[in-house]
Amino acid sequence: MRKSDLQRLSEYLWEIPADYRADMRVPARLYASEALLDEVLHDRSLEQLINVATLPGIQKYAIAMPDIHQGYGFPIGGVAATALPDGVISPGGIGYDINCGVRLLASDLHEDEARPYLEDLATLLYQYCPSGVGRGGHFPLSKKEIERVAVEGARWCLKNGYADEDDLLHTEEGGCIEGADPGAVSKEARDRGREQLGTLGAGNHFLEVDVVRTIYDGAAAAAFGLFEGQVVVQIHCGSRGYGHQIATDYVRAFQSAVHKYGIVLPDRELVCAPLNTPEGRDYLAAMRCGANFAFANRQMLAFQVRRAFEDVFLREGLPWEVRQVYDVAHNIGKIEQYEIDGEQRTVCVHRKGATRAFGPGRPEVPADYRHVGQPVLVPGSMGTASYVLVGTNDAMLHTFGSSCHGAGRHMSRRQARKAIGGNTLREQLEKRGIVVRAGSLRGLSEEAPFAYKDVVEVVDVVEKAGIARKVARLEPLAVIKG
């Protein structure tokens, strides 16, 4: 791709017209500043976005957020809606880590109160919230229990004393997507997930203690219960080996489905099946199992975070209670309705590295937030700022209610390891007053802040484009990594 191949529709919106390539069914759109666009042109992510625009049943346009980078099939940061009943569903448009997402928890502690105890808190969080490749957790499941988790999601946690009603009210979909069917999930996936509930995993997953440094929107911040100087916690993880195996199984199965249904694709990584076929229905049901597992996983981690806060701060006579602000998914396929060409249509919205960003008044938004809109959680890279945003009505009109999900990589893990050692990075972070607990120095170096795009610029783009609005800026106090 060359920059000249794109048409500039506005300061932060670019389009590749549908006649750019003969097999495109719709245009491809990218939200980006000029500097971010220049960066995108160095990998295959725009080519992947064009490929997405060829999918059967795709509506309006294929969309990329400013944190776009190359992924499997879809670019990460990609959004596409396919019309029911015969539009397709593609595992590559949802991702291998089904319902990877972010949960934000808020305390009543002020930064000054918490700082003397950060070392103890980080140590307990590291102990209570296991991290690392293949790492098991404190809540092993029986064969029957993992099926219940797959169907009930965070409701299973509520029934078993690991959640309260308020947690579920402030989780996307109430922490459970209906229509999950464990019968569509392989034994291998169930076996991989049985030991992993309540674990972080590795890669870019993390648990972070932050301080609310800046409030931009007082009304939205008040609705979300956020104030300057407040100690909060972010949890970033997904469905672990359970969801990864579901994706692996269906990518393999769909290789034959595309031939069975006569689907011609420019990239075999986009394998898919029509939603009204047995294959499409099975994957949708299995994907929902993975999503529910991820909601339960983050809920169990939230339970452990509360345990750590209680252990550290209760004995000091400080506020230790931790409540949930919100939990969002950013690797998921959702059945939603939008007005398209003057009529209401039911579509499957693929969000891969993209966050739902519903505006004010939507019934899916918790009642106490509905007057301002849905919280949108955008974590930065380790050691940089993160943001709380709020969805807008413009997002409902232009991006199928979607926004960015993070900063987005611009350097491979291998390049990051060559650029800095884990020990050096940890020393740099600790000199800035950030407490670090990491199981792998190699893994730490792979997630160096400079390996990612500038989250400030990414967030500025989505705000200036009108698809989300800044509410608060968070800065790290302690980081827990696998």
Q: What's the angle, vertex CA 190, arms to CA 184 and CA 196, rounded to 5?
A: 140
Is 134 labelled as part of a ligand binding site?
A: no
Is 131 labelled as part of a ligand binding site?
A: no
Q: How far apart are CA 372 and CA 374, in angstroms?
A: 7
Is 204 labelled as part of a ligand binding site?
A: yes
- Pick from 456, 217, 482: which is nearest to 360 by CA? 217
Is 478 labelled as part of a ligand binding site?
A: no
127: number of CA atoms within 13 Å, CB side? 10
Answer yes or no: 170 catalytic.
no
Q: How far apart are CA 99 and CA 394, in angstroms?
A: 24
Q: How far apart are CA 64 and CA 458, in angstroms?
A: 12
Q: How far apart are CA 272 and CA 258, in angstroms?
A: 6
Q: How far apart are CA 385 and CA 166, in angstroms?
A: 27
Is 481 labelled as part of a ligand binding site?
A: yes
Is 379 labelled as part of a ligand binding site?
A: yes
281 Cβ partners below 8 Å, 6+ apart?
275
Is 408 labelled as part of a ligand binding site?
A: yes
What DSSP designation does 359 have?
A: -
Amino acid at 76: I
Expressed in angstroms, the distance from the first to the final Cα of the chain is 36
Is 206 labelled as part of a ligand binding site?
A: yes
Is 51 labelled as part of a ligand binding site?
A: no
C-beta atoms surrounding 62 within 10 Å: 31
Beta bridge partners of 31: 13
Is 208 labelled as part of a ligand binding site?
A: yes
Looking up tokens 């048409």 gives: 7
> Which is the catalytic residue, given 170, 244, 398, 405?
405
Is 207 labelled as part of a ligand binding site?
A: yes
Is 352 labelled as part of a ligand binding site?
A: no
Is 451 labelled as part of a ligand binding site?
A: no
Is 407 labelled as part of a ligand binding site?
A: yes
Positions at the binding site for GMP = 204-208, 330-331, 379-382, 386, 405-408, 481
Active site residues: 405
Positions at the binding site for Mn(2+) = 97, 205, 236, 330
Positions at the binding site = 97, 204-208, 236, 330-331, 379-382, 386, 405-408, 481
